[in-house]
Homo-oligomer: A and B are copies of this chain.
Amino acid sequence: MSRLEKVTTGMGEECGVFGAYDMDGGDVAPSIYYGLFALQHRGQESCGIAVTDTYGKRKISSKKGLGHVDDVFDEESLEELKGNLGVGHVRYSTAGGTRVENAQPLVINYVKGTLAIAHNGNLVNAIPLRRELEYTGAIFQTTIDSEVIAYHIARERLNVSKAEDAVKNAMKKIKGAYALVVSSPRKLIGARDPLGLKPLCIGKQGHVYFLASESCAIAAVGAEFVRDVLPGEVVSFTKHGIDSDMSMAIPGEQQARCIFEYIYFARTDSTIDGVNVYHSRITAGKALAESYPVEADLVVGVPDSGLVAAKGYSEQSGIPYGMAFHKNSYVGRTFIKPKQSDRESSVKIKLNVISEVVKGKRIVMVDDSIVRGTTCENIIKMLKKAGATEVHVRISSPPFLYPCYFGTDVPSNEQLIAHSHTTEQIRQMIGADTLGYMEVEKLKDMVGDLSFCDACFTGKYPMPVPGEDISHAFE
């Protein structure tokens, strides 16, 4: 699925988290702003920044809002966010339920002062944990898991002397996927779930430390990449330096990174757990070329997410790589969709075929997924109208068949064409000459030695999951 299709299907992305701590006392809000820009692809519904200082009143200033980073923040509001310690968040968009109350970071006052929490991921035991908390008199003001996490940190904090220990103890209770960035009055804390489902990494520039969902955000603020936070690790940054606690870690072969980060979520210029995303997608393209070779004249990718895999297909197959599409970069959120029943028009406005390139040619068209198939069908029509003699579709992920409980907002089964149709049926429906999906067995080539989670393709979940979809349980 190209990002193009996503807009219409409401397929959700992840969230992005970012944290910064300047040991020299400089303001970190500008860096967080730029860091969130680099993570904007992980969530466009809402965003927020919360900063505090480690030397003065340690009061938290925060601003959150619906929309993109540059919708929510302007120079004046950045100016007002004073402090050398802070966290930021971008949240993905869901079909309904857009509420500013659910924007992160979550900022709380608790027994030890203030806390700001930014969270990427989904807990699988959020419902029983909430219930349990409610039975001790807890009240909830949002529908996000972060509030459950905050309560646990607050309660654990009563028994331990360090905030990072409260985070660690809270991790013993919460189950699921999480990359956490937390600012306590004097510390920046990062934590990653033991399975490593969600990514988190560390950067450094001079006396400033950074935490980010992806390394591209470290690069965007001009910092050096230090290393990934390890699955199960709790890292804390204070004026005394970095501390690490690995007591929640599990053996590497039990870890389960989300393979979809490599296929689709992450930016091509990010490197996660040592595996470069660009490289990973080139590999996927090559695997497709091996699995589904075809005689053709040109390999083209559907912008933007199919481009790299297309390059890989081209490299492996020797078939030249070409640019068949012009994507209109001005089609944004406030674009008014055509009313005509013909959905083709909507695609046309966003994407146009360069006839010169495809005329008279046999085309291999690579994309990262097929959701409902209509966008794919329309693009194939456009290619053929422009003179392509054949269109061979290659998809760089296996078909989605199972729900994700860890934060990937996969469309419901009814919307997923792969759920009720065979590949051959889909091929006919979209009008492709041939169609090949990435083979599940070859996913491992994308990430080298890393162990990963491919439950959305296989149904093999890395931990017990509830029987039904919990993604909107509290709304």
Which residues of A are interface residues toward B (Cβ below 8 A)?
30, 33-34, 37-38, 40-41, 44, 59, 68-71, 73-75, 78, 100-101, 106-111, 115, 130, 134-141, 143, 147, 150-151, 154-155, 158, 216, 219-220, 222, 267-269, 271, 276, 278-279, 304, 307-308, 311, 321-323, 325-326, 328-336, 338-339, 342, 344-345, 348-349, 352-357, 474-475
Residues in B neighbouring A69, C-beta threshold 8 A: 330
Residues in B neighbouring A279, C-beta threshold 8 A: 356
CB pair A219 B348 closer than 8 Å: yes
**Closest A-B pairs by Cβ, 10 of them:** A137-B155, A111-B134, A269-B326, A40-B330, A109-B140, A108-B139, A276-B356, A70-B334, A269-B354, A269-B352
A-B contact pairs, 9 of them (CB 8 A): A30-B336, A34-B345, A37-B328, A41-B330, A70-B331, A108-B140, A110-B138, A219-B348, A307-B323
| Interface residues of chain A: helix, strand, loop or mixed (majority) | mixed
CB pair A326 B268 closer than 8 Å: yes
Given contacts A100-B100, A269-B355, 18 further A-B contacts (CB under 8 A): A37-B330, A70-B333, A70-B335, A70-B336, A74-B336, A78-B336, A106-B141, A107-B141, A109-B130, A109-B143, A111-B134, A137-B151, A137-B158, A138-B138, A216-B352, A269-B326, A276-B354, A321-B321
CB pair A154 B139 closer than 8 Å: yes
Select from chain B the residue with minimum beta-carbon distance to A134.
B111
CB pair B136 A110 closer than 8 Å: no
Select from chain B the residue with minimum beta-carbon distance to A331.
B37
| A138-B138, A219-B352 known; A328 vs B78 contact (CB < 8 Å) | no
